[in-house]
Amino acid sequence: MTLDTLVARGEQLNHELGREWYLTGAGHKPEADFQAIYDRHLILQDEEALAVVRGANEPALLEWIVDLRVGRRVAPYAEQQLAWEQQAVVTVGDRTVPFLRAGIEIQNAADRAWRTALDHAATAVGAAGLNGLRRDRLAAEREVVSAAVGNDDYVAAVAHLSGMDLERLAEQAEALLGETADLYGDALARLTRRRIGVPLDALVRADSGWAFRADDYDAAFPSDRLVEIAVRQMGEMGLDATEAGRVHVDTEERPGKQPRAFCVPVRVPDEVYLVLRPSGGHSDYRTFWHELGHAMHFAAVDPDRAFHERWLGDNSVTEAFAMLWDHLTLDAGWLGRHTAMGQGGSAAAGQIADLQFELAVAELYLLRRYAAKLAYEIALHRSDYREEIADEYAERLTAATGFRYPRELYLRDVDPGFYSARYLRAWQLEAALARALVEQFDIDWFRNPRAGAFVRELMRRGQADPADRVAAEIGVDPLSFDAAVERLTPLLA
Ligand SMILES: [Zn+2]
């Protein structure tokens, strides 16, 4: 087998997986059959494929072939989990809620007794139904990766494959937690005193969704205007939100459509889907701009680039572009210009400042949550996945977020393959990029065609370079959380 054959088959596989994902996620097809697609391309799973990519000296290709092995090996667990989740229900008193609806229900429940009881019940049901499966899945992934790399330490094996220095990132994350502890604690107290009405030490995880729900502002974020606003805003930067029609936006209501927005590339850069099922409020906007960022990033890639630069590489980069656009919905100037919040003079300015504060607390909550997750996930993968590690999960997450986390989530609240590290690196790169845009093009860079051209030039490269190399090019070396903390501090003070 030559490298060219391998790459051609890989592109075909990604194309078929992408289409299947789009058709089932958008509700065009009732059940996904990923297994059959993997089986049509078994050649990519054999030892020869591994040998060919080892000889190719292209880290992204080796990581991809190992990912395919993982994907096929864990597919039965993923399918069992999906099947279990679709039939499971949670019962509290005389009310029954589908397991998959519970999270949304909890987030939208103003009634504290109800959301706490529902979260408690859902956590117990989930642990009983899924923890065994999750343990087997994580162990299988560890086994496949360790064997392919030839390193029994899974953490070191992932670091080697991905090029991410996980230990160093965990040290930075630990420092971030220390550095922002007071800032976060004070801001969280201000927000939850008003929204939750209990002392800080009584907050539980079920309160976090409602604390950050920002429901007072729902009227300013009508879901039927998302696409129109995005087209206008990107247009002001000289960008085409559809990238000349390569981004297909699917907003039709359809039974079986996933509740959350998602983006899936079917061909890169020629055919990318952005699927949307709005449910109301600011979070629709943030999610839409995030997925639009992924979609525009895939659709903007130079078609002449190699397969691994168009499809593979460090996902911290596409996450950073998604975050660059979703963070616009946290920007006072952007909110004033592109939403109904801009109408009404000084009262409107006060409203925008209030919303911006709430969003900034939520942002630091998320950042601190992921910082804690990384340290925990390193410890978890060096354990035997037994329950002894559950206390460490609850302690770390509770200390970082200020909400008491249940220990039963210790296997479910895990991003396989250290995707948590990609998000953390994306936060670092995005904040550095946003700072550079402000420095070069001023605070309203989001309406400047020169800024648009600058960003598009970076997007055209796909993921040819990892996040740290992109950051170095804009003068930030090494990647750090400095720009993210710098941006949040004045908003929370
Ligand atoms: Zn994303």
What's the 2 CA to ligand 1 centre distance in angstroms? 33
Residues 158 and 177 in one domain: no
Residue 93: pLDDT over 90: yes
What's the 167 CA to ligand 1 centre distance in angstroms? 23
Tokens of 123: 């956590």
What's the 295 CA to ligand 1 centre distance in angstroms? 10
Half-sphere exposure of 145 (CA within 13 A, CB side): 26
What's the 194 CA to ligand 1 centre distance in angstroms? 31
What's the 287 CA to ligand 1 centre distance in angstroms? 9
Average pLDDT rounded to a whole number, residues 316-326: 98
pLDDT confidence bin for 5, thresholds 50/70/90: very high
Q: What is the pLDDT of residues 460-491, one digit of tens each?
A: 999 999 999 999 999 999 999 999 999 999 99
| pLDDT at res. 223 | 87
> Starting from the edge strand earliest in sequence, which strands make up the sheet with 271-275, in order?
247-250, 271-275, 262-267
Average pLDDT rounded to a whole number, residues 344-370: 92
What's the 120 CA to ligand 1 centre distance in angstroms? 28
What's the 294 CA to ligand 1 centre distance in angstroms? 7
Angle of the 345-381 helix axis to the 390-401 helix axis, nearest 10 = 160
Residues 89 and 232 in one domain: no
What's the 323 CA to ligand 1 centre distance in angstroms? 7
What's the 25 CA to ligand 1 centre distance in angstroms? 16
With contact defined as beta carbons under 8 Å apart, do 292 and 239 qualify?
no
Residue 35: pLDDT over 90: no
Residues 151 and 202 in one domain: no
Tokens of 266: 């079917």
What's the 214 CA to ligand 1 centre distance in angstroms? 21
What's the 444 CA to ligand 1 centre distance in angstroms? 24
Q: If you search the block for the tokens 């019940």, which residue do you land on?
A: 121
| pLDDT at res. 112 | 97
What's the 324 CA to ligand 1 centre distance in angstroms? 11
| pLDDT at res. 377 | 98
Cis peptide before 59 (omega within 30 of 0): no
Q: What is the pLDDT of residues 242-257, one digit of tens each?
A: 999 999 999 888 877 7
| pLDDT at res. 243 | 96
What's the 317 CA to ligand 1 centre distance in angstroms? 10
Residues 104 and 34 in one domain: yes
Q: Any idea which of 80-84, 208-212, 422-426, 443-447 has the lowest mean pLDDT?
A: 80-84
Q: What phi-psi label fits residue 238: left (phi over 0), alpha (psi between -120 and 50 degrees) or beta?
A: left
Residue 1: pLDDT over 90: no
Q: What is the pLDDT of residues 267-320, one digit of tens each?
A: 999 999 999 887 778 999 999 999 999 999 999 999 999 999 999 999 999 999
What's the 290 CA to ligand 1 centre distance in angstroms? 6
Residue 142: pLDDT over 90: yes
Single out the residue in 128, 162, 196 at which a domain terminates: 162
What's the 293 CA to ligand 1 centre distance in angstroms? 8
Q: What is the pLDDT of residues 47-81, one digit of tens each?
A: 999 999 999 989 999 999 999 999 989 988 988 88
Single out the residue in 162, 187, 221 at which a domain terminates: 162
Averaged pLDDT of the chain: 94
What's the 175 CA to ligand 1 centre distance in angstroms? 25
For residues 440, 443, 447 and 453, what is the CA-based torsion angle, rounded to 10 degrees? 20
Residues 28 and 142 in one domain: yes
Give the pairing type, strands 271-275 and 262-267.
Answer: antiparallel
CA–CA gap between residue 301 and residue 458 (Å, rounded): 9
Residues 175 and 72 in one domain: no
pLDDT confidence bin for 216, thresholds 50/70/90: very high
Q: What is the pLDDT of residues 147-185, one digit of tens each?
A: 999 999 999 999 999 999 999 999 999 999 999 999 999
Residues 255 and 396 in one domain: yes
What's the 163 CA to ligand 1 centre distance in angstroms? 20
Residues 313 and 370 in one domain: yes
What's the 47 CA to ligand 1 centre distance in angstroms? 32
Question: How far lies 327's CA from each of 231, 316, 331, 349, 365, in Å?
Answer: 17, 16, 7, 19, 15
Residues 396 and 256 in one domain: yes
- Which residue pairs, CB below 8 angstroms and at least 24 apart, start in 67-71? 67/417, 68/13, 68/38, 68/44, 69/45, 69/144, 69/148, 70/140, 70/141, 70/144, 70/145, 70/417, 71/34, 71/38
Residue 407: pLDDT over 90: yes
Domain residues for the domain of 155 are 3-162
**Which burial class, exposed, middle or buried, applies to 327 when counting CB atoms under 10 A from its CB (0-12, 13-18, 19+)?**
buried
What's the 320 CA to ligand 1 centre distance in angstroms? 8
Q: What is the pLDDT of residues 432-456, one digit of tens each?
A: 999 999 999 999 999 999 999 999 9
Single out the residue in 113, 131, 162 at which a domain terminates: 162
Q: How many structural domains comprise the chain?
A: 2
Residues 366 and 323 in one domain: yes
What's the 211 CA to ligand 1 centre distance in angstroms? 23
Residues 203 and 148 in one domain: no
pLDDT over 90 percentage in the chain = 86
pTM of the model: 0.96
Average pLDDT rounded to a whole number, residues 5-25: 93
What CATH number does residue 205 fall under? 1.10.1370.30
What's the 459 CA to ligand 1 centre distance in angstroms? 15
What's the 291 CA to ligand 1 centre distance in angstroms? 6
Q: Any idea which of 41-45, 362-366, 425-429 has the lowest mean pLDDT?
A: 41-45
What's the 319 CA to ligand 1 centre distance in angstroms? 5
Residue 347: pLDDT over 80: no
| pLDDT at res. 136 | 97
Residues 421 and 274 in one domain: yes
| pLDDT at res. 196 | 97
